[in-house]
């Protein structure tokens, strides 16, 4: 499938266009005597740029520094030599060939006041920014530095990658423009995707195409021309797709689960499958902790009751977590993060993982036990294992019967680890006192009795559904692609036997 639309050239601004580093404008202010040197030394911290800026801006505001003084200082910041020529060459290639946009972070709002840049800006169709919204108490609001050349579309917490996807989608829907290619030009400082940035010093120049919403037939037709494929959870990479990709060498899943990829078919064809096991760790951990807290205080049930017009305090009396025992089945990245957080609530943490020794588990505060000793001890059980033959229906009629009466279960890992029919029976009998479920044997779930049970909190597989997790898995998978090309070891290979032994 050939697309004849223009190429979208994305300048990930920061230090690519303006000849400076992250603190040049603050140094300029210090040189001018606007910020005393002792204030700079007190607040300066490369590792916490936002807090540094917050403190400096607060000081400036309290010291009576005017917006005009800031502008006059910042206007002197020079553009990188050659940037004007680059933009000129791109524009001279024809209006239908390239479309130029800028995506930038908060500090560029300062740089954007440069007279030089405002002239250069006319070459760009649109300028997108992420304005910082520092919390009040006299802090200067960077939004005040906007002019008509800047399009304020998001907060500092909204990833530039999402901004770009939104821009591409709007151009397609509103203007019927489909880009033939997307090129990134970045400096490596919080780029959209650091691993795939295009700079003069970049170690790899990997052509990348973004194609979303393809049907299975379109994907089969498209994949013929590609050596690598990256997907998220919505795209099913079936045997038919893999067989059609005669040039295909690697499939990347921007996420943990590879249920949507036919790994066996890929292995037979010699295609390496990699995932991003670490990118959603914190998001999945935090959802697990949320489930534990909600189960202990009946949050969702009490909320639903009150919204229905009932003021009922007696029915939703809960339990403290202090002194309760949390069993963690699977002591990998997520399980360990859950342990440290719930220990802060005073919970005793025990666990089981055949791949983690008792000595190692002690280093993060978890006492290891065999499974048959786990069940009768636990007030709460959370599972963090893959779905493999050894873990399928791990919690069933037998094991649930061995648990402490009223135990609460949490599954943010994989559907099928807890046998759903057995769980429903245990809930009905009172053997299980509550369950927090984010995953199910089939999705959407078919057992309406289970999800509608009054002691069940359920969510539609939201473990990795945070802005941060989506960015982290994208970065992780892209960096693994580069390591694979360089012949380095990678940590997310699903079918590792295909990798060269060296």
Which residues are known to be catalytic?
Answer: 414, 443, 461
Sheet with 250-253, strands from edge to edge, namely 228-231, 250-253, 272-275
Q: In whole angstroms, what is the distance from residue 421 CA to residue 435 CA?
A: 13
In the chain, the largest separation of any two C-alpha atoms, in whole Å, equals 75
CA angle 182, 474, 230 (to 5 degrees): 70
Are 443 and 414 in contact by the 8 Å Cβ rule? The answer is: no
395: which DSSP letter? B
DSSP string across 206-263:
-------S--HHHHHHHGGG-SEEEE-TT--B-HHHHHH-TT--EEEESSS--TTB-H
How crowded is residue 207: how many other Cβ atoms within 10 Å of its Cβ?
10
Are 438 and 257 in contact by the 8 Å Cβ rule? The answer is: no
**For residue 190, is it left (φ>0), alpha (ψ between -120 and 50) or beta?**
left
Pair type for strands 272-275 and 348-352:
unpaired
Are 492 and 275 in contact by the 8 Å Cβ rule? The answer is: yes
How crowded is residue 390: how many other Cβ atoms within 10 Å of its Cβ?
9
Q: In whole angstroms, what is the distance from residue 131 CA to residue 147 CA?
A: 12
Q: In whole angstroms, what is the distance from residue 333 CA to residue 257 CA?
A: 15
Structure-block tokens of residue 125: 């169709």
Q: Which residues pair with 151 in a beta bridge?
A: 128
Residue listed under structure tokens 């603190």:
23
Q: In whole angstroms, what is the distance from residue 366 CA to residue 377 CA?
A: 14
Residues 6 or more apart whose Cβ sits within 8 Å of residue 240? 216, 220
């Amino acid at each position: 499938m050939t697309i004849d639309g223009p190429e979208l050239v994305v300048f990930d601004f920061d230090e690519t266009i303006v000849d400076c580093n992250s603190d040049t404008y603050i140094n300029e202010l210090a040189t001018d005597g606007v910020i005393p040197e002792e204030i700079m030394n007190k607040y300066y911290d490369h590792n916490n740029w936002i807090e540094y800026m917050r403190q400096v801006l607060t000081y400036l505001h309290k010291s009576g520094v005017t917006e005009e003084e800031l502008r006059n200082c910042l206007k002197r910041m020079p553009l990188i030599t050659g940037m004007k020529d680059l933009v000129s060459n791109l524009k001279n290639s024809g209006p239908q060939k390239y479309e130029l946009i800028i995506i930038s972070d908060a500090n560029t709002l300062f740089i954007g006041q440069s007279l030089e840049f405002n002239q250069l800006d006319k070459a760009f169709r649109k300028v997108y920014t992420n304005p910082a919204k520092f919390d009040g108490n006299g802090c200067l609001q960077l939004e005040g530095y906007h002019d008509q050349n800047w399009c304020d579309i998001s907060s500092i917490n909204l990833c530039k990658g999402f901004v770009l996807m939104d821009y591409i989608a709007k151009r397609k829907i509103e203007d019927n423009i489909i880009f033939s290619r997307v090129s990134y030009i970045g400096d490596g400082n919080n780029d959209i995707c650091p691993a795939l940035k295009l700079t003069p010093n970049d170690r790899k120049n990997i052509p990348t195409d973004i194609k979303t919403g393809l049907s299975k037939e379109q994907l089969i037709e498209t994949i013929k021309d590609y050596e690598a494929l990256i997907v998220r959870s919505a795209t099913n990479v079936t045997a038919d797709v893999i067989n059609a990709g005669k040039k295909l060498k690697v499939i990347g899943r921007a996420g943990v689960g590879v249920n949507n990829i036919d790994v066996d078919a890929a292995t037979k064809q010699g295609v390496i499958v990699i995932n991003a096991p670490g990118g959603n760790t914190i998001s999945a951990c935090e959802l697990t902790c949320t489930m534990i807290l909600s189960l202990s205080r009946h949050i969702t049930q009490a909320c639903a009751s009150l919204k229905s017009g009932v003021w009922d305090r007696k029915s939703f009396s809960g339990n403290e977590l202090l002194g309760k025992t949390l069993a963690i089945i699977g002591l990998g990245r997520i399980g360990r993060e859950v342990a440290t957080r719930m220990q802060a609530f005073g919970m005793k943490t025990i666990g089981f993982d055949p791949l983690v020794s008792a000595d190692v588990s002690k280093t993060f505060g978890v006492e290891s036990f065999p499974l048959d000793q786990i069940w009768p001890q636990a007030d709460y059980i959370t599972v963090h294992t893959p779905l493999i033959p050894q873990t399928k229906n791990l919690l069933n009629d037998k094991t649930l019967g061995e648990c402490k009466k009223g135990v609460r279960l949490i599954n943010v890992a994989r559907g099928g680890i807890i046998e759903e029919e057995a769980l429903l029976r245990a809930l009905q009998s009172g053997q299980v006192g509550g369950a927090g479920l984010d995953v199910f044997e089939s999705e959407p779930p078919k057992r309406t009795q289970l999800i509608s049970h009054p002691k069940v909190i359920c969510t539609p597989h939201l473990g990795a559904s945070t802005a941060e997790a989506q960015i982290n898995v994208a970065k992780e998978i892209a960096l693994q692609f580069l390591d694979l090309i360089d012949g380095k070891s990678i940590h997310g290979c699903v079918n590792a036997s295909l990798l060269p032994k060296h």
